[in-house]
């Protein structure tokens, strides 16, 4: 089973099926917003 982990806050974003244990890094919703600009402080 694979796990998707946020590379910024290390929160577990989700899981996906895989033959072996795999970890992918991505961005959770919260951290993704940080990357889109600074509309909010």
Q: Which is nearer to Zn ion, 19 or 37 (CB)?
A: 37
Q: How far is the CB of 18 from Zn ion (least distance, A)?
A: 22
Residue 14 near residue 2, CB atoms below 8 Å = no
Enumerate binding residues for Zn ion (CB under 5 A).
Answer: 6, 8-9, 11, 28, 31
Q: How far is the CB of 7 from Zn ion (least distance, A)?
A: 8
Residue 29 near residue 12, CB atoms below 8 Å = no
Length of the chain: 41
Give, as one character, the DSSP assignment of residue 2.
Answer: E
Q: Which is nearer to Zn ion, 4 or 28 (CB)?
A: 28
């Amino acid at each position: 089973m694979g796990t998707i982990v946020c590379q910024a806050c290390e929160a577990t974003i989700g899981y996906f099926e895989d033959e072996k244990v795999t970890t992918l890094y991505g961005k959770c919703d919260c951290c993704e917003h940080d990357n889109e600009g600074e509309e909010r402080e």
